[in-house]
Amino acid sequence: MANPTTPFRSEETRPTGTNPASDRARDAASSMTEKARDMASSAAHNVGETASSAAQKAKEMASSATQRAGDVASNVGHKAEEATSSVGSSMRSLAGTLRENLPHEGVMGTASSAVADSLDRGGRYLEEEGLKGIGEDLTNIIRKNPIPAVLIGIGVGYLIARSLRS
């Protein structure tokens, strides 16, 4: 037989309705727990949306920066091509001036004519081919002659190192 004066060991084993204040406290705690869960869920959702929005804006900024860098690089490339063409035109103009002002006969005439022809050919090459053509021609020469190209590279590197050391 059970002794009715024996206290209950835990809240879970106590029958409902035996202590109304305890039941109200339990209901209030349950309600507060549910509200806290809802608030935490809402906060997590808001944080997720904010993070997603920030990531999207970062992607847009990176894309914009990439586009700007590409535009700047393209603009620099066009300016370099224009400068190369301008140098070629100046070389051709100098060749014409040399032909007009230097002697046409004798050793000096032969030398001046050879210099003027070289300047004219170089200027025409720069005007027509530009930097892209120079790069392609240089690539082809290196492919056809790899060992001399490596030796020239080593020699140029040595000379640069010597000049920087002094």
Is pLDDT at 145 greater than 70 in this prediction?
Answer: yes
Domain ranges of the chain: 37-165
122-157 burial, b at 16+ Cβ within 10 Å, e below that, comes to: ebeebbebbeeeeeeeeeeeeeeeeeeeeeeeeeee
pLDDT digits (tens, 9 = 90+) for 29-74: 788 888 888 888 888 788 888 888 888 888 888 888 888 888 888 8
Q: Which residue has the higher pLDDT, 51 or 142?
A: 142
Q: What percent of the chain has pLDDT over 90?
A: 22
Is pLDDT at 111 greater than 80 in this prediction?
Answer: yes
Q: Which residue has the higher pLDDT, 144 or 32?
A: 144
pLDDT at 6: 52
CA separation for the pair 79, 134 (Å, rounded):
16
Whole-prediction pTM value? 0.50
CA separation for the pair 134, 128 (Å, rounded):
10
Report which of 91, 97, 96 is spatially closest to residue 123, judged by C-alpha positions. Answer: 91
